[in-house]
Amino acid sequence: MTRFLKLICITITIFVLTTPVSAGDAAAGKVIYDGKGACTTCHGATGAGDGVASAALNPKPASFVAAQFRLDTDGDGSNGTDMDLFNSIKFGGAKYGGNAAMPGRADFSDAEINDLVAYIHSLKK
Ligand code: HEC
């Protein structure tokens, strides 16, 4: 019995250590994306960048499905990182030389933005 308990403790410890603390919840992100975030208007229901308003946008929103991201918000030489998506959503496109039509959502909590980041990653096909 003690050996069994030890095994459970080790399993839980490994799980806790290997799960990133800041990781968002993609399912919760979808609820915001489709709902109060109104992200579908521009980014489209599947994230393909083909929302109803996208025709009027230049540059157009990148396709989350193709994971073709444009903005390198932290200047580390790669775009589409968790940090880049987080900053784009929190502060908007204009701050990073992108399309000002991408609204900053500093009204969302960091946890909500992390959920959106997780959802965007999950849209990749
Ligand atoms: C009014 C239209 C509009 C809405 C609403 C909108 N976006 Fe955007 N978004 C854009 C445009 C246009 C870009 C492209 C910016 C660029 O590349 O210059 C963009 C870029 C982005 C990027 C950066 C992608 C990249 O290429 O690096 C992310 C992430 C993003 N949007 C997420 C969201 C999320 C999440 C929501 C909902 C909370 C949202 N957007 C709502 C228009 C919009």
Ligand 1 midpoint to CA 89 (Å): 7
Q: Is 55 a domain residue?
A: yes
First to last CA, the chain: 45
Q: Whose CA is nearest to atom 13 of ligand 1?
A: 61
Q: What is the percent of the chain with per-residue pLDDT over 70, rounded to a whole number?
A: 85
> Per the structure block, which two tokens stand in for 71?
């903005």
Does the CB atom of residue 97 touch ligand 1 within 6 A?
Answer: no
The pTM of this model reads 0.87
Q: Is 9 a domain residue?
A: no
Residues near 98 by beta carbon (within 8 Å), at least 6 away in sequence: 59, 70, 71, 88
Domain that holds residue 76: 23-122
Q: Whose CA is nearest to atom 18 of ligand 1?
A: 98
Ligand 1 midpoint to CA 43 (Å): 7
Give how far the C-alpha of residue 77 lies from the chain's centroid of Cα atoms, to the nearest Å.
19
Does the CB atom of residue 53 touch ligand 1 within 6 A?
Answer: yes
Confidence (pLDDT) at 20: 44
Asked if 47 and 60 touch (Cβ cutoff 8 Å), the reply is no
CB atoms within 10 A of CB 35: 10
Domain CATH number, residue 41: 1.10.760
Number of domains in the chain: 1
Q: Is 2 a domain residue?
A: no
Note the pLDDT tens digit of each residue in 4-54: 667 766 665 555 545 444 699 999 999 999 999 999 999 999 999 999 999
Q: Is 57 a domain residue?
A: yes
Ligand 1 midpoint to CA 21 (Å): 25
